[in-house]
Amino acid sequence: MTTATTDDAAARALDPRQLRDDLLVLRRVSSNRMQAAPASVARNLDMVRRIARHWAPFGHTRRAAADGVASEERRWEVLLACADPERSVEQCYTDVVVYAGAVWEFVQALHDAIRPGTTVPEVARSITAAVAKGDFSVGFELRVKQVAADLREPAETVRAAVSSLVDSNVLERRSRRIFPAGSLEMHDALATHIADRLRAQIAAGVYARGSRLPSAKFLATTVCSDSAPVGRALQILAVEGTVHIGPRGSEVAQSARLLPHPAPTAPHHDEKNPRFSRDTIVATCRAAHEQWRRRRPAPAEVLHGRWQDLRSMAGQLLAAAPDPAPDATQDLAALARAAELASAPLPDAPWLQQWHTACLAKSLSDVLPLIPKDPR
């Protein structure tokens, strides 16, 4: 390793022009795909070592300035180790190209670091403040590219800041996706909320006692979810005795232990309420479902406004719906499901609010075909 001190590096300013010139040299060496003569390989290796030796003290300064951010310290440690000017490199074409690429990544990181306001700790503090304010809502994915665009910072810097925040439990990771802390618990608890909705719908008569429940795949479409959370929800209801799960499917228990639940009443619709056109209803339902499908957060006023509109639309459609035939069980279930969802309270968390709104929109989409084209 170089013997230059970090204090010496701190006393000198990074020269952007020299950084750019050295990056061009390193790019030329690392991207060369033609075999070179041994003498040329030796010259290239010597040139790359000189560049690495010149910039190494600045790398140590950046590592010391990581301000205790573990992921940032590790990043600079890896960059410094790979670009070590005393690193053992065979004087062969392939090894020199690989080493030149490692030095290029190190110098490029220094080049990115000279932009004002791009230190990883500063970006991490900005993201932490945004999470605390609710700009990044619990449950919704935090996309690095979008955050970088919002903060006008390099994506690599934001990615390093996100890694440090995952280590400090401000954010959490599932596979390659990043969320504010508490999101994964909320996602895993969706099955409990689905069980609540199914329990309420059984109490409201959507699914009669002793009747067979639709398949998990069909139920998943009604609650805007996958089959797996629905399966877990049915297990919850089976444990409490609300449903029985058998080899041929699930059915509502005759003596289901149901919690007291008031009969659902759809919002009252009268002439003072606006009459929504069919196209408006279709567009609103589609927007709510698409917002949930993409898992993109919506401003609170937009979400609550859409919820109120959908509840008014439910009152209008249910008031205009003709009475189905007694044996039209699917039509009866669609109407009862829409009435139950329209009367259910909106959850507190924005992520669950968006899910609940999408479920109501789906129920209205199922009711809409039952309504005459021009109801009067």
- Assign residue 182 a region (left: φ > 0; alpha: ψ between -120 and 50; beta: otherwise): left
> How far from 308 is each of 201, 217, 294, CA to CA, in Å?
21, 28, 21
pLDDT band at 30 (very low <50, low <70, confident <90, very high): confident
Sign of CA dihedral 274, 279, 280, 285: positive
Q: Which residues, including other chains, have CB under 8 Å from residue 104's CB and lie 6 or more apart? A: 23, 26, 27, 30
- Rounded to 5 degrees, φ, ψ at 210 are 85, -10
Q: How many helices (H) and strands (E) does the chain have?
A: 16, 4
What is the pTM for the complete model shown?
0.69
- Contact in structure between 65 and 113 (CB atoms under 8 Å): no
What's the pLDDT tens digit per position in 63-105? 887 766 777 788 889 999 999 999 888 888 888 899 999 999 9
- How do strand 249-252 and strand 243-246 relate by DSSP bridges? antiparallel
What's the pLDDT tens digit per position in 338-354? 999 999 999 999 999 99
**What is the model's pLDDT at position 253?**
87
Helix (H) or strand (E) holding 77: helix 70-82
pLDDT band at 305 (very low <50, low <70, confident <90, very high): very high
Averaged pLDDT for residues 293-319? 91
What's the pLDDT tens digit per position in 101-128? 999 999 988 887 776 656 778 888 899 9
Q: Which one of 84-93, 285-294, 320-329 scores highest in mean pLDDT?
A: 285-294
- Contact in structure between 292 and 285 (CB atoms under 8 Å): no
**DSSP conformational letter for 212:** B
Averaged pLDDT for residues 124-134? 89
**What is the model's pLDDT at position 6?**
43
- Contact in structure between 362 and 285 (CB atoms under 8 Å): yes
Beta bridge partners of 251: 212, 244
Averaged pLDDT for residues 308-333? 89
- Contact in structure between 306 and 288 (CB atoms under 8 Å): yes
> How far from 176 is each of 72, 130, 166, 180, 236, CA to CA, in Å?
19, 21, 12, 14, 29
What's the pLDDT tens digit per position in 236-285? 999 988 899 988 889 998 865 554 544 444 555 554 555 899 999 999 99
**What is the model's pLDDT at position 89?**
86
| Residue for token pair 């304010």 | 133
- How do strand 177-180 and strand 171-174 relate by DSSP bridges? antiparallel
In 171-215, alpha helices (H):
183-188, 190-203
pLDDT, greater one: 343 or 373: 343
Name the nearest CA neighbour of 58 among 8, 133, 3. 8
pLDDT, greater one: 158 or 113: 158
Sign of CA dihedral 182, 186, 188, 189: positive
Helices 70-82 and 93-113: crossing angle, nearest 10°?
140
> How far from 322 is each of 177, 326, 333, 340, CA to CA, in Å?
47, 12, 14, 18
Sign of CA dihedral 351, 355, 360, 361: positive
